[in-house]
Amino acid sequence: MPAAVTAQPVLEYTFKPSLKIVAAHVDKLGLDIRSFKEPLKRCVKQVVIPSIRANFDAGGRPGWAPYADSTVEFHEMLGEDLGEMLIKTGALRQGMSYQNLWTITKEEAYIADLPPNIWYGKVHQGGYGGKSGAGAIPARPFVLLQDSDEKAIGDVFDRWLLERIEAAWPG
């Protein structure tokens, strides 16, 4: 004999708070994530700038090409100590530590240009071919994210999104 058909629902869901209240909160959350400017600012401050400093401290990650013998000889002739790679005066390393160097919009964070006092950072970042290879400077990228930075950036965005959710759904 087949089972009796009943008018009772097999599954029942109760939404607390009501769907109308949830929808209002979702709308509010949607407004809060129209711009990523805040998490991008946090990423630059908490992840990218410290990573750039670490690149200088480590002599590149991966390691930078050593100075050419001619560069070493030239500085010795001038009586100058080259010091650590790219840290002769420390101005470039220090300059790259300033958050105001970054342009941060609602969708991206980037360095548009370097200030005049550290213009040479562009040469070190991308390298310089020189004429017929003479005077060539290999790229020694210091604005370079590491694999661990990608996870840290994701963590910053996760925390920010959780803050937005908690603000939309207090308690």
Tens of pLDDT, residues 108-121: 899 999 999 999 99
Mean pLDDT of all residues in 146-164:
91
In this predicted structure, what is the pLDDT of residue 6?
Answer: 42
Please determine, for residue 1, whether its predicted confidence score (pLDDT) is greater than 80.
Answer: no
Q: Scanning the structure block, which residue is given the tokens 């017929």?
A: 132
Which tens digits make up the pLDDT trace of 55-105? 999 999 999 999 888 889 988 999 988 888 888 889 999 999 999 999 999
Task: Identify the three-state secondary structure at position 104.
Answer: strand
Residue 60 vs residue 1, higher pLDDT: 60
Please state the φ and ψ torsions of residue 124, each to the nearest 5 degrees: -70, -40
pTM of the predicted structure, to 2 decimals: 0.78
What is the mean pLDDT of the segment spanning 19-25? 67
- Beta carbons within 10 angstroms of residue 96's beta carbon: 22
